[in-house]
Structure 1
Amino acid sequence: MMPRTTMAALAACVLLAACDATPPDADPTYGLGQTPAATRLAAIDIDVNPSGAGLPEGRGTVTDGATVYAAKCASCHGAKGEGISPVPALVGRTPDVGYDFARADRAPRTIGNYWPYATTVFDYVRRAMPQSAPGSLSDTETYAVVAWLLHENGIIAANAEMNATTLPAVQMPARGIFVRDDRQGGRPFR
């Protein structure tokens, strides 16, 4: 007869082995949900990576962005991107680039002092803003708002146009403070 701890350990191993037997490409639903239609997947498959892969057609200028921002963003983020509590500021370079946010995390993280990639700003604005109607901005409006935000942070010129070619080329001031995540392991994702 086996001791209880040995039996418990053996049972745990059998259970873990059974869980691990599911092929990685299987999609168990446990009787919940439904398989999404291809059109639904296409509508949410809008990710943009730092290199600009995934950026849509369209273009936006700083001037057009000022108009869109005033109409759809300023009520929460302030007329100049200064933030209206509890909504964060978007514009500002204080503290300076290189500030140790990990040690003193009370400083505001703005596009001008913290965001490493302009494409990330585009991706976030397109998905999540405005808060009252996330994803409602057209691609052209999103490019325009991002152009305005980058200009207000002193990153691009007033006459700059943002599009799928120019946006990934923007050198964000804080890019150098981030360390690339090169961890390996786990299930791959795109």
Structure 2
Amino acid sequence: MSMPKFLPAAAVMIAANGAAAQGPDLGQPLSEDEIPSYARYVMPDGRGLPAGGGTASEGAAVYAEKCAACHGETGIEGPVMPPVGPNDVWAKPAGRHWPYATTLFDYIRRAMPIDAPKSLSDDESYALAAFILSRNGLIGDGDAMNAETLPAVEMPNRDNFTDVWAKQGAEPW
């Protein structure tokens, strides 16, 4: 397969034209209140975490109402990947798979519940993260999870992942 003939010429034109390299200068930046919460990055160190918080007991109520149908009554049964374990089917369920507790929070906030993704409040997402972390023995039942405490949780599988942002010394945005 050969490279299309127009690509080298396009590369020369873009390199020669500084304005093209900067972008077309279209649109305008969004204000902070125009960016939905689920469209913000949450970094492993906690940057990007929203205000709010929740405990495992608050999370238990949310879990029973919005999560148990898929993940099992106690979080062990499934049928969809149970968040608590290990168990007979999943060696690393959600509470032990994620490298950072902030990643668990971000996934819950963006993707759950499956029938209504992005519908959880930040407090519900913190409470569910606390519930899962507590059920996996990673935090105490009364520990509150928030923007300060969540990044401090040491996840058991942390060393089995590579943090590309730290290795590159780069910011994701």
Q: Counterpart of 1:174?
A: 157
Q: Counterpart of 1:26?
A: 23
The one-letter amino acid paired with 1:157 is G
Check 1:27–1:58 CA distance in 2 against 1; reply closer, same or farther (3 A cut): same
Decide whether the 8 Å contact of 1:94 with 1:113 is kept in 2.
Answer: no
Q: Counterpart of 2:56?
A: 62
The 3-state SS of whatever aligns with 1:23 is helix
Check 1:40–1:24 CA distance in 2 against 1; reply closer, same or farther (3 A cut): farther
Q: Superposition pairs for residues 88-167 of structure 1, below 5 Å?
A: 88-93=81-86, 108-167=91-150
- Separation in structure 2 between the aligned mates of residue 82 and residue 61 of structure 1, nearest angstrom: 19
The 3-state SS of whatever aligns with 1:116 is coil
The one-letter amino acid paired with 1:17 is V
- Separation in structure 2 between the aligned mates of residue 119 and residue 148 of structure 1, nearest angstrom: 14
Q: Counterpart of 1:103?
A: none
Deviations 1:36-84 (A, max 9, x none): 8544435454221111111112121111110000001111111122353
- In the alignment, structure 1 segments of 5+ residues that lack a partner are 96-105
Aligned partner (choices 32, 36, 44) of residue 50 of structure 1 = 44
Decide whether the 8 Å contact of 1:60 with 1:143 is kept in 2.
Answer: yes
RMSD: 3.2
Q: Percent identity?
A: 40
Deviations 1:89-143 (A, max 9, x none): 2111359xxxxxxxxxx95542343211001111111111111111111111111
Report the TM-score, using the length of structure 1 for normalisation: 0.72
Decide whether the 8 Å contact of 1:61 with 1:160 is kept in 2.
Answer: yes
Report the TM-score, using the length of structure 2 for normalisation: 0.78
Normalized per residue, which structure has more helix? 2
> Which of these two proteins has the greater Rg computed from alpha carbons?
1
Check 1:139–1:11 CA distance in 2 against 1; reply closer, same or farther (3 A cut): closer
Decide whether the 8 Å contact of 2:84 with 2:94 is kept in 1.
Answer: yes
